[in-house]
């Protein structure tokens, strides 16, 4: 059965001045799945993500998110679309001048007319989901790296978005914090049916959460398919990427 698609990218091209970053990128992401965009440094992952988020103008190709063509949206429609997606930035992107609670409450305050005490309750509950209730009145500068990421995740999911984008969520985290974060992400997928698009190259994290892999190399998608196919792919770049940990992790994974 064909799964419902939340994201479809077709023939996306991008260049910074003379330097071509994406030559021809096409892929899609299914509803309720974790799609991981992979690739070495400089393969264009972040550029793809910025196009999906509407942060860079689309020159050639189409990006359709939740059935809407991102390139042709008017500003109002773009805002509506932003309300249906959560974005979890690499280094948090929390506003330094606001407390953690105010950061998380920001979308609720701006986009809904819920009473303030109810907003406080919602924020408290969301911080509870990421186990950060004690940081309610703290400022981002008072948080550790892992806490900052969890606070950013709480803010990304505060509007219950059907689609969540994560830009290198695991970067700079220790393995234990990373596992906790992955569990959170899996919970969001399993319990809320969130579709998650993730850019990462933490191999352990990919094995835990990914359903589908999109592998970028030199501005082209060289592999697109389920995780287990990616692990056995003969495509050189993909093969090389996974061979690094093949010896240790895959055996366990296959055993399990």
Binding positions for another protein, rule: CB under 8 A: 96-97, 101, 108, 112-115, 117-118, 120-126, 128-129, 133, 136-137, 139-141, 159-160, 191-192
What is the side-by-side order of every strand in the sheet holding 212-217?
68-69, 60-65, 5-16, 19-30, 220-226, 212-217, 34-38, 195-199, 163-167, 85-88
- State the nearest-atom distance from the C-beta of 130 to another protein, in Å: 13
Question: Cβ of residue 100: shortest distance to another protein, in angstroms?
Answer: 11
194 burial level (CB within 10 Å; 0-12, 13-18, 19+): buried
Smallest separation, CB 200 to another protein (Å): 25
Closer Cβ to another protein, 127 or 181, answer by number: 127
- Of the pair 9, 130, the CB lying nearest another protein is at 130
Angle at 61 between CA 169 and CA 215, to 5 degrees: 40
Whichever of 71 and 129 has its CB closer to another protein, that residue is: 129
Among residues 58, 49, 45, which one has the least CA distance to residue 12? 58
Which residues are registered as beta bridge partners of 89? 92
Cα–Cα distance list, 168 to 59, 64, 218 (Å): 25, 22, 19
Q: What is the dihedral of CA 108, 110, 116, 120, to 10 degrees?
A: 40
d(CA 141, CA 96): 7
CB of 141 to another protein, least distance (A): 4
Q: How far is the CB of 16 from another protein (least distance, A)?
A: 26
70/132 with CB nearer another protein:
132
Residue 196 CB, shortest distance to another protein, in Å, is: 17
Q: Which residue, 112 or 235, is less far from another protein as judged by CB?
A: 112
Nearer to another protein, 126 or 150 (CB): 126
* Residue whose structure tokens are 């390139």: 71
Element (H, E) at 28: strand 19-30
């Amino acid at each position: 059965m064909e799964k419902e698609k939340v994201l479809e990218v077709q023939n996306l091209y991008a260049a910074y001045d003379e330097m071509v970053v994406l030559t021809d990128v096409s892929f899609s992401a299914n509803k309720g799945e974790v799609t991981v965009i992979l690739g070495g440094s400089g393969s264009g992952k972040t550029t793809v993500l910025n196009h999906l988020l509407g942060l860079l103008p689309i020159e050639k190709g189409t990006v359709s998110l939740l059935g809407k063509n991102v390139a042709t949206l008017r500003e109002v429609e773009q805002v509506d679309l932003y309300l249906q997606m959560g974005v979890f930035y690499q280094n948090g992107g929390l506003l330094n001048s606001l407390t953690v609670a105010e950061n998380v409450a920001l979308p609720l305050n701006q986009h809904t007319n819920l009473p303030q005490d109810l907003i406080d309750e919602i924020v408290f509950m969301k911080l509870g989901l990421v186990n950060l209730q004690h940081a309610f009145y703290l400022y981002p500068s008072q948080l550790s790296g892992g806490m900052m990421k969890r606070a950013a995740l709480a803010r990304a999911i505060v509007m219950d978005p059907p689609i969540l984008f994560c830009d290198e969520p695991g970067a700079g985290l220790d393995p234990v914090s990373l596992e906790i974060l992955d569990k959170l992400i899996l919970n969001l997928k399993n319990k809320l049916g969130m579709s998650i698009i993730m850019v990462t190259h933490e191999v352990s994290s990919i094995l835990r959460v990914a359903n589908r892999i999109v592998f970028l190399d030199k501005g082209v998608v060289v592999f697109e398919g389920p995780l287990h196919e990616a692990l056995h792919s003969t495509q050189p770049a993909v093969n090389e990427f996974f061979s690094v940990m093949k010896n240790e992790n895959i055996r366990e994974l296959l055993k399990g």
